[in-house]
Chain A
Amino acid sequence: MHDIRLDFGDILKRQLELAERNFAYLSKHNVRAFNVMGAIGSGKTSLIIFLSRELKEKGYRVGAIAGDVAGDEDYRRFREAGLVAANINTGNDCHLDAHRVSHVLEDFPLDDVDILFIENVGNLVCPADFPLGTEADIVVISVTEGDDMVRKHPKIFAQTDVMVVNKVDLAEIVGVDPARIVADYRRINPHGRAVLTDARSGKGIDELLTVLGL
Chain B
Amino acid sequence: MHEYSLAAALLDALRERLRERPVPGRVRKVHLRQGELLVLSQEALREAWRILTEGTELSGTELAIETVPVRVKCPACGYRGDARYLTEEGWHFKAPILSCPHCGGIVEIEQGRDLAIVALTVEEDGQGANR
Taking Cβ atoms with an 8 Å cutoff, the residues of A that contact B are 1-6, 8-13, 16, 93-95, 125-126, 128-130, 151-152, 154-156, 158-159, 187-191
Contact = CB atoms under 8 A, between A and B. Distances in A.
A10 B95 contact: no
8 contacts: A3-B31, A10-B116, A125-B39, A129-B2, A154-B86, A159-B98, A187-B97, A191-B99
**Secondary structure dominating the interface of B:** mixed
Given A93-B5, A129-B113, A159-B37, 8 more contacts: A1-B28, A9-B13, A11-B9, A11-B115, A94-B2, A129-B40, A189-B99, A191-B106
Nearest to A131: B113
B116 A158 contact: no
B23 A4 contact: yes
Interface of B: 1-2, 5-6, 9-10, 13-14, 17, 23, 28, 31, 37-40, 86, 90-93, 95-99, 104, 106, 113-124
B8 to A, nearest CB: 10
Looking at chain A's contact residues, the main secondary structure is: mixed
A159 B97 CA distance: 8
Contact of B17 (A6, A10, A191): A6
A97 to B, nearest CB: 9
Contacts of A94: 1-2
A154 B91 contact: yes
Contacts of A1: 28, 121-124
Contacts of A152: 92
Contacts of A128: 39
Contacts of A188: 86, 95, 97
B61 to A, nearest CB: 12
B86 A6 contact: no
Contacts of B38: 12, 129, 155
Nearest to A157: B95
Nearest to A4: B120
A15 B10 CA distance: 13
A206 B17 CA distance: 53
A29 B122 CA distance: 50
A119 B113 CA distance: 23
